[in-house]
Structures are given as structure tokens and as C-alpha cells.
A and B are shown apart, each in its own frame.
Chain A
Amino acid sequence: MAAPSVKGFPDFQRLKILAKDEFTSLLDQMPGRKDLVIDGELMKPLDRIASVSLLKQRGVDKIFKFDSSLKSMHGCEQRIYLVRPRMTTMKAIADHINSDRNINFKRKYSIIFVPRKLHTCLSVLEYEGVMGCVTVSEFQLDFVPLDKDVLSLELPEFLKSFYLENDQTWIHTVAKSLVRLQALSGEIGHVYCIGRGAKMVNDLMNFLMKRNSSEQDFSRHEIGSLILIDRDVDYVTPLCSQLTYEGLLDETFGIKCGTIEFGPEVTGKQQSAKLLLNSDDAIFEDVRNRHFSNVLGYLSSKAKSLQQDFDKRHGLKSVGDMKDFVANELRRLKEQKSVLANHIGACEQILGKKTKGGFEDYLQTEHSLLEGSGLRDNVNFIEELLFKQDNMLKTLKLICLLSLTQNGISPQTYKSLKTQYLQSHGFEQLVTFSNLKSLGIVTDQETGSQAGTPLNKVASGMAAMTRRSTFQSLCKKLSLIPKSDDIDLKNPTDMSYVFSGAYTPLSCKLVEQVLTRGGFTGMEEITKYLPGGVHSENHVKASKDHSTPVKDKSGKSARQDRPVSKVVLVYFLGGCTYSEITALRFLGKLKGYIFVIATTAIINSSTMLESVMEKPPI
């Protein structure tokens, strides 16, 4: 684990160590025995940073999960709250403190905000009259390294907060994470921004960094380029059904902060199993990026060879061999066997679920929506799902794709689908539709031109002329829909394999284009369709030129040949899917880049939609 870097990847263990040290010193600020109350959503990220034994060692007596419904809490005379900065949380903490005061219980309180204290939170504490008796500090935990090439802020609320409510509070956290990362890995020379939030992050990052451009030798820095990309540039990709193994694991079981929990139906035992999913698990590393059709066969062949290794024990000649086998081989084999059994069990579950739910028809509809063909059939299929009261998320995904690929839904169809959706899944979903409209994910073509999707805003005029939707234009210009039907899913040659060769993720294609062109030059025909615009900055300049960042109009990047510039940090604002990570890994192998993926959170179609949906009343 402590290896300095794996095959050119910057070492992100350092981030973990830094975070751990910071957290430890925060705990030490309250010497002696204390209770730790943790925000539920911080449990898993903290788990990746610090162990329970470390907490105990630092005087933590009991660990509680923060529950905002509790009016008071018991525990020892010192307490630390480790929380996200939210006003409701502050109110609940104030309630705890005031209830202690009412019974004259003396306790010391400390609130540690992750990653940052907010003015509104402090106001609540002040308003509730508890400001005087709490100490307030910050734990700047931003990136949680999930793997050697994946960094996540574990901040899924970014999507709703920034794109739905247009609240820029979390932009600071994103910018800060980059500043802190560059403090370790060196400044990043080339920055490319795709979208509105991307530009904001870049601005704030520059504001925080005070770059001193001239003196630097960028070739020694670990990361060559940074591509920031807004989720609202491409809502289509996360809504497509994932077909890679890791993507399917996430969609079926939910991967949380790099860990997965398999229930008894997968393990085949009484108890469930928790697995850390990363490149340290050799079997998982072998299959994670594969198309699902190509996983089970591999796993079973692996099982066979494992069995052969096991059988070796019968052929052992001497006691020494036997001893050696038991000491070294057996343990490894047993571990592998259990891991393998879990993965095979998971595959079976995935297969079972997919064959039962009419997945093939669904997938076909999804693909023809992406192609923009058979509109009437697609609408009929959606209606049928509504008649059946089939899974509400699944149905909504198709409605979203219908709208996104067509620049909104025609007024009549929009009204009819919305009405039927509400009738089948509860009128409360009116709120969901309102949110999706604000996000530009499901719109009415009538209003589309005014309020409209982010994509539409840019291209409404053009769409009227060409009658081709923005998405379709992008598909054509970037050839996102491969022409040939037969793609070798086993030995892919194209990123589209992650979606069975039906579609190349737009976000990843944009990354590819930016890197091969060294900027946005010559991409005007494409960038005009992207909401929020694009921006690029080149800080790698001749040493004499000590001017502040100059916009890279020419788009030429002389340093492409340097090894460092092959390390590319792709930062998704608003989250990315495992399929996108997989596609970029593939692109990296194909073109010789080393991609590091940073994201505000790892999402899938369900978590993305759920975050903006109204909950059913029951």
C-alpha cells in the first residue's frame, strides 16, 4: 500500500496520511475522554481515513451516529461533533446543548465542520445561544482516495445544490481540494474547463493559489493537465444503463465509498460480506472494467485454475512442502476462493435481476432513444411501463433520456406522460417534474426555448433551423453512436464498449478531444452546443514570460511529449459513474495517458435522480 506510486500514478496515500494527521490533532485539541458524534454520511469516508483503534487511542470513548431527531444525548463530559455544515444539524446540536443546560449537566462541546464552517451554521449556533460554549473548528477532509486513480469528495449533494438551486457554496470545496492536491503534487500546468461550474472552480482556485508563474519547472510536477467538466454538460451518460461489471455492481448493490456489502443471497452464507473494491483485489481488478457479457466466463475459468492450485496439495511430497503450502499458499488460496465466490454470486444476482425485469426490451428502447429512432415506439414503451406501474426510477430514466435526446418532449406527449406518471406513481411527483424541468433534464418543447435545458439555451436557434436536437448534433459531430453494429466486447477498440457499443459517453469523448487537440481550438462546432462554455489556461510558459496566466488561444501545447503531461486529472463536478471511469481507463490504455479521476461523488442513474426526486408519502 505504501508504494510511492503505481505505474506513474501520483501517490494519493499522502492525502490519507495528511487527513489522518489533521484529524488526530483535532481530536487532541480536546484532551482526555470524549464522545464522538459523527454525521451519518461521514462515517464511511472517515472509515477510509482513520480506524476505530486510532480514535480510541486518542481518547474517544463512545462513537455515536448523529441523529437530528434526538432532542438530547447522553455520554461523557466531553463531546465532539463531526458534521457537515448544515443549519438543521446546528439546530439539533444546539438542542442537545440546551437540554444539558436545563438539567445543569456540565459538558464541553466541540464542533468539527467537514470540510468547512459556514456562516449560516455559525449564525444558527449564535441565534440558539450556544455559541459561547462550543469550540468550532474545521477538518478539511476533501478528497477521499477510493483507489489509486479515483478521488472522491463524497459530496453527492453538490448536484442538487449547484445545478438545481444554483448555490455556489460547494465550489469553494472543489477549488480547495485542487489547491491542496497541487500543494502535494505540484501545480498543474494546463487547465481545461468545460462548463459553468468548471470555470468558477478555476477562477476560485487561481484566487486561492496566487500562482507565481515564472519560476516553476512544471516537468517535475506529477500531474500535467486538469480537465474540469460539469455534469450538466452531459446528463445523458449517467442515465444510460451501465453494463460494465463495476457499474452493474453499483447499480445493483450500491458501492458506498469504495466498499460493497453483499447480502446472504450473494454470499450463500448466513452472514453478509463487506468487500473493499479496489485495485488491491486482483480478481476484481481483472474484471471491473469488463463488459458484463465477458465476466462470468472469466470468473469460472479463474475458479477452475484456483481449484487446480488447491489440488496441488495432494501432490505434495515432503512434510516441508506441506508446511510451506499451508503457511503460504493455503491462506492466499482460501482468500481468493472466498472473494471469487462472492463475485460469482454477485454475477448471478445481476443476471437474475436483469433477465426477470424485461431488461432486453428496456435496453433496446434506451438505445433507440440515443439513436433518435422509433420515437412513437419508445413513447409507447414508456407508457406501457406506466400502465404496469413498473419501477418508478426506471421509467423516469427513459422519460429523461427522451427529453434530453430530443431537446425536450413535444407539448402533448409531455403533458400526457407527466399526467400518467403522476397517476401511476403518486401526484407528489409533481415536485420531481418541477425539479427536472429546472435542471433542464425533462422539459416541454414549448417552454424549452425560453426556460429550457442548458443544452437548449445555447442551441435553441440552431435547433429550430436544423430540426436536429442538440444531442443528436453532438452525436453526429463526435460520432458518439458507432456505425458498425458488431463491436468486439471482449477485445474492445473503442470506449463505446462500456455501453455495448451503442454509445460513446459524451463526457469521455470530450476529454479525448481536448487532449488530442491540446485545447478547444478547432472544436467550435462542438463547443457551441455545450452549456456554460469552455475555457482553457496554460501556465506552462517560457521562464522569461512572468505574466499571469495567459489564455491559451492558440491551443498549442509544446510539452505534450513530456512524461508528466501524460498524467491527466479529470474532475467531474456533480458526480460521475463507474462506466465513465472505466471508459477513461480504457482511453488511457489506448492513447497512453494516465487518468486520475476526481469527482464530487460517484453516482449512478438512480442515485442521481433520487437526489432530486420527491419522496413517496409512504
Chain B
Amino acid sequence: MSSLRRESQDEEEYWMKSRVNKSKFNLFDDNVTVENAEELAKSKKLLTQFEDDDVDTVNWDDTPVSSVTESSAISGVTGRVSFTPSSLESVTPTVQYSKSQEKLHSLTSSSSARSLEDEIPSFISTSSGSKNLEEEIQYLKRALKKARELKFSPEDTIRKMILGEPYSLEVFRSKEEKLQLLDKAIQVHDGNAITAVILFLRQTIKPSLFNLELQRRPVAINHYLSYLRAHYDFKELGDVLGMLNRTEEAAILKYKQAISAPDVRGKMNALRGCLKAHFIHEPDLAHEANLVEQHAALLERQWPIEDTDSKSEAQGNPLFRQFPRKVSILNMPLITTLYYCCFYHGRDAENLLTSPFAIKKQHQLSDKQYVWTALSARSRLKQWTGIEELLTAKGWFGSTKKVSVIGFDKVCEILHRTSAPEEILSKYLRMIDGSERRLNIARKYKCHEVVVETLVYLRDRHELQVYASKLPPGSLGLRNAQDALRSSTIKWKT
């Protein structure tokens, strides 16, 4: 390594010299050919950026090397993958010239500022030193030999990439070599190298070939997709997913894009469009299609509700004054919307957008979902009759009975959470099946009356005595307990 370093230093000196040569050109003269300018730029860049030993073997211009090695060598110099010689060649010379000029300008102006300073001494020394022609010829011979010997193998290049050393992908012109690069990168599991090679491939081979080779390598596909995602290149991302028949991922991607629309109206349109284009025709996505449909429908409902209610609130509607709206209902989840409608619009007719029942119907909510939410809202509003209605089912022959799809224990939980009065709570506690369960829940919510009743029902005199001893004097629960304890008609358990 140290010998290499020395050698590279020698060569650096050479470079100082060669730059002297070059300074004979007027860079901004029209006579300078495009190639010259380009290469000049590159070699300058090289000087400032690399002190690597491989690169200099090839980066030389006005030297008698055969044109083939020259061209491949030159592209190698840049060390930049995204530089594409082919595309540059096709551009008209004037454009190209200005490009190189710009590049040169930026290079000399900023990045090379330090290196220029550093190099001035050596510059002087070499220029003042005799132009040892013999030495230069020796060097050129050596360099030529090295350039011919040096085979850029895919393995070496990948190793350089992994070690963070300067490398060049442009030397690989054949498709086979490029694929070797890719396969080597995949083999050693370095994502950075894999992505770099993929992007190089994308730039240098035609799309049909690129896609074909990519599809043969799942690891490469994943890295390409990951790159596209990070690059926000959603169009290409969607296309690739489509090409790979990964319809679900493509659909979810489109959905994700649709919901990122900033305004609600745009979002509604985007959702509808995305649903039509990516979901409804896919049999595998039937369930997802239904959910996206629901999302669009929900926004279409929230939009007019928000519009009307915010106006109504501004006009001083007493309902909103009594219970001020905390936030806009827009973009809230469905269940929150249901709660909102139960709360502010509980009695609205079913043909209105605000009707809770219409929401239940459209979104095919289960009875449990509906009752749970409606009950919470009505309890918060202290609409006890409303709760009764909710829990009343018509039996046969017009009779009615109390039923709860969520179980009366849960009804009591909601009532307790929304701080319903004891009288109401007791009423529903009594409907809990199973006396032991009822007893436990009543104890939990401290509904003394129900506890006493249940203990009496269980004929557990001992427990009743214990419980009564803890009740506050004068309370209804205590009186009931004392009555029961005094009663002679109860057959207590022994």
C-alpha cells in the first residue's frame, strides 16, 4: 500500500506537469474542442477529488494512446455513475461546450480552491524543474502498460464500493459485465452497491432489457422499489409494481397517494379515481375495494355535514352553544362520525346525511358497533328514554322486551363511565343475567340497592350483614338491608 501511495504521489507530480501543458489552451476559446474541455474538466475534478492510484493511469488526453482505450479510460476517470458519455455525445457541440464550461467554472471557483492553493508550490517546482522529456516518456510508458494490464473486474469494483473507495462503473460496457456487477453486489449483500449498479443499468441499457434483467433478480427489484419510494418517484414505482403483477401493493400505493391530497374535495375525487382504476376490477382486492369505497363515502358525508354545522354553530345554534364542537368532523374516523351524529343529530330522519341510522346502514355496521356508540352518546346527553328505546326490542305479537346485543354488563359499564345517576344504573344492573355476576358488577359500581337485593335473592344473610355494616347510615341501601335482615319471610341459606 505504501509503495502505491508513493507511486501515486509521483503521478500526482506528473499531473501538475500535465496541467501546465494544458494551461496553454485557452479554455474559453472556441477552438478548444469539446472533448478537450470535457476531459480537462474531468482531470481537474480528478485532481481535486482523488488521490487514488488506479484512476490516474487512464486519465490523460493529449497522449498517443489508441482511441479505444482512450474512450473507455476517460469515462472511467469521472468516477461518477450518473455521468453518461453516450448521451453527451448526442447533444449538439455548443450545448456541450457550455456544459463543460460551467462544470469547469464551478470546479475552479469553489471545490478546488483549497487544492489549488496546496498545489501551487509543486506547480512551481515542476515547471521550474527541467522538462525532463525522458522522465515523461518513462512515465507514459509505464502508465500505458498499466492501463492495458489493468482489468477492471466486477469483483474489484464491488469491493471498492463496499470499502468506500472511489470506483467507476462506466468501464463496464457489455451487458454481461454489468450483470456480473449486479450479481456480485447481490452476493455480498450491500444495498448501496446494489442500488448504485441498478441505477447504472437503468441509464445504460434500454428499458425492456432493464426490466427483464431486474425481474430475474428479486433482490434487485426490492432495492429498485425502495429507491423509487425514497425518491418519491411514484409513477415509475406504480409502473414497476404493475409490471411485476404486484397489484395489491400498486393499489395501496395509489390509495396512499390519494389520501395525501391536502384538501378534502381533492381527496374525495382522488379516492374515487383510485378505487375505479385500481381496486374494483381486482377480484383479490374485493375487501379492500369495499373499505376504500367506505372511505370515499365517509368523506362525502362529512363534507356537507361540516359545512352545515359550522354555519349553524356560527349562527349561534343553542345545541352547539350547549355542547361546543371541539374539532371539525372532517377526516375523523367513521365511529367518531357516528358518535358525532348520534350526539348532535340523533333524531334526524333516515333520509338525511346526518342520520345515525343511515350511517349504520351505508357502512353495514354491526348492531354491536351501533348500540355501543349510540348508547355512549345518549348517556352523555342524559337521554334516558332514548337509551330505553335503543334497548327495547319488539317481541312477537307486539309485546316489548329489553335486549342488549352488547350485554347489560357493558350497558352498565358505559352508563357508569358517562356518570349516569344511580337510579338509571340500577335499572340496567337488574337486567344482568346471573346473580353472581350481577352482584360483582353492582359492587364494582357501588350500587348498594342492587347489591342488597341480589344478596337477599341469594339468601346470603352473612354477606348481607357484612355489606350492611359498611353502608352509610340513613341510606336507602342500608334501610333495605335492615328490612331484609329483620324480615321473617326470607329463608336464609344455612
Residues on A lying within 8 angstroms of B by beta carbon are 86-88, 108, 116-120, 123, 126-127, 129, 132-135, 138, 161, 165-172, 200-201, 203-204, 207-208, 383-384, 387-389, 415, 418-420, 422-428, 430-431, 434, 438, 614, 617-618
Residues of A within 8 A of B189 (CB): 168, 171-172, 200-201, 203-204
Decide if A166 touches B81 in the complex (CB within 8 Å): no
Residues of B within 8 A of A133 (CB): 106, 109-111
Residues of A within 8 A of B327 (CB): 618
- The reply on B287 being an interface residue by CB < 8 A is yes
Residues of A within 8 A of B406 (CB): 387
A193 CB, nearest partner CB in chain B, Å: 12
Decide if B252 touches A169 in the complex (CB within 8 Å): no
A165 to B334, CA, bound (A): 30
Decide if B294 touches A427 in the complex (CB within 8 Å): yes
Contact of A384 among B107, B227, B410 (CB under 8 A): B410
Chain A: CB-nearest residue to B186: A168
Chain A: CB-nearest residue to B218: A166
Decide if A132 touches B225 in the complex (CB within 8 Å): no
Residues of A within 8 A of B199 (CB): 119-120, 123
With known contacts A383-B368, A387-B372, A425–B333 Cβ distance under 8 A = yes
**Binding stretch for chain A, among B52-60, B138-146, B190-198, B426-434:** B190-198
- Give 5 closest A-B pairs by Cβ, nearest first: A169-B191, A427-B295, A132-B106, A168-B191, A166-B222
A120 to B223, CA, bound (A): 12
B220 CB, nearest partner CB in chain A, Å: 11
A126 to B368, CA, bound (A): 59
A36 to B487, CA, bound (A): 85
Decide if B190 touches A123 in the complex (CB within 8 Å): no
A11 to B468, CA, bound (A): 66
A301 to B366, CA, bound (A): 53
Residues of B within 8 A of A424 (CB): 333-335
A11 to B298, CA, bound (A): 59
With known contacts A135-B111, A387-B369, A165–B229 Cβ distance under 8 A = yes
- The reply on B269 being an interface residue by CB < 8 A is no
Decide if B288 touches A430 in the complex (CB within 8 Å): yes
- The reply on B373 being an interface residue by CB < 8 A is yes
Residues of A within 8 A of B369 (CB): 387, 420, 423
What would be 10 A-B contacts, judged by CB atoms less than 8 Å apart? A108-B110, A117-B164, A132-B106, A167-B222, A171-B189, A208-B162, A418-B291, A422-B294, A426-B331, A427-B291
- The reply on B80 being an interface residue by CB < 8 A is yes
Decide if A423 touches B333 in the complex (CB within 8 Å): yes
Decide if B191 touches A127 in the complex (CB within 8 Å): no
- The reply on B312 being an interface residue by CB < 8 A is no
Residues of B within 8 A of A420 (CB): 366, 369
Chain A: CB-nearest residue to B188: A207
Residues of B within 8 A of A384 (CB): 410
B30 CB, nearest partner CB in chain A, Å: 24
Contact of B162 among A120, A138, A207 (CB under 8 A): A207
Chain A: CB-nearest residue to B375: A387
Decide if B331 touches A618 in the complex (CB within 8 Å): yes
Residues of A within 8 A of B111 (CB): 132-135
Decide if B291 touches A127 in the complex (CB within 8 Å): no
- Interface 0/1 of B232-250, CB less than 8 Å to A: 0000000000000000110
Residues of A within 8 A of B229 (CB): 165
Taking A165-B229, A383-B368 as given, write out 4 further A-B residue pairs in contact, using a Cβ cutoff of 8 Å, ordered by the A residue number. A119-B196, A120-B195, A166-B223, A208-B162
Which parts of B198-224 form the interface with A (CB within 8 Å)?
199, 219, 222-223
A389 to B334, CA, bound (A): 11
Contact of B190 among A135, A161, A172, A614 (CB under 8 A): A172
A420 to B162, CA, bound (A): 47
Residues of B within 8 A of A86 (CB): 230
A210 CB, nearest partner CB in chain B, Å: 11
- The reply on B451 being an interface residue by CB < 8 A is no
Residues of B within 8 A of A208 (CB): 162-163
